[in-house]
Chain A
Amino acid sequence: MPPTCGDWLSVLQPHLRPPLFHPEGMESLRRLAARLPGGLMTVLEVRLGPDPASTPAGVDLSLRLAEPRQAPDLAGIFPSAERVLSLWAAQESPLAPVRSLWLEFDHDRTPDPILCAKLAPGASLPWLTGTLFPALHGAPLPESQEALVRRCVEAIPPPAYLLYAFSLRPRGGDVRNAVRLEIFGLDPAGILAYLERVAPDAVPWIAEPASRFEGVERIHLSLDIAEEILPRIGIEGSFSRLPSREPGWRTLLDRLCRPEERDAALAWPGSDTFWTAPSSWPASPTGGSPGGRCVRMLSHVKAVCRPGRAPETKLYLMFTGGSG
Chain B
Amino acid sequence: MSIPFERLMADLRKNPDLLQELGEMTDLDRAVRWARQRGYEVEPEELRAMIEGQRELSEDELEQAAGGDWGDGTPPPSGGGGG
Interfacial residues, chain A to chain B (CB-CB below 8 A) = 41, 43, 45, 47, 58, 60-62, 64, 66, 100, 102, 104-107, 114, 116, 118, 163-164, 166, 168, 171, 175, 180, 182, 184, 218, 220, 222, 232, 234, 236, 238, 240-242, 244-245, 269-271, 273-275, 278-279, 283-284, 286, 288-293, 295, 297, 299-300, 302, 304, 312, 314, 316, 318, 320, 323-324
Contacts and interface: CB of A to CB of B under 8 A. Distances in A.
Contacts of A104: 77, 79-80
B31 to A, nearest CB: 12
B59 A316 contact: no
Contacts of B12: 278
A324 B50 CA distance: 11
Given A62-B77, A242-B62, A314-B81, A291 B50 contact: yes
Contact of B49 (A47, A241, A271, A292): A292
> Interface SS of chain A: helix, strand, loop or mixed?
strand
A102 B6 CA distance: 34
Interface string B40-64: 0000011011101110110101110
A273 to B, nearest CB: 3
Interface in B17-46: 19, 23, 45-46
Given A102-B77, A240-B70, A323 B82 contact: no
A271 B6 CA distance: 23
B80 A278 contact: no
Contact of B79 (A107, A166, A292): A166
6 contacts: A41-B68, A47-B81, A62-B80, A234-B78, A278-B12, A288-B1
A107 B77 CA distance: 17
A270 B53 CA distance: 13
B64 to A, nearest CB: 9
Nearest to A295: B65
Given A270-B62, A289-B1, A318-B66, A164 B77 contact: yes
Contact of A222 (B6, B62, B78): B78
A322 B76 CA distance: 19
B66 A295 contact: yes
B45 to A, nearest CB: 8
Contacts of A289: 1, 45-46, 48-50
A236 B68 contact: no
A244 B60 CA distance: 11
Given A118-B77, A300-B75, A291 B83 contact: no
Please indicate which of the listed interface residues A62, A184, A279, A291 has the most CB atoms of chain B within 10 Å of its own CB. A291
A324 B65 contact: yes
B53 A274 contact: yes
Nearest to A279: B13
What 7 A-B pairs have minimum CB-CB distances, sorted nearest first? A291-B49, A60-B80, A304-B83, A273-B53, A164-B77, A297-B66, A104-B79
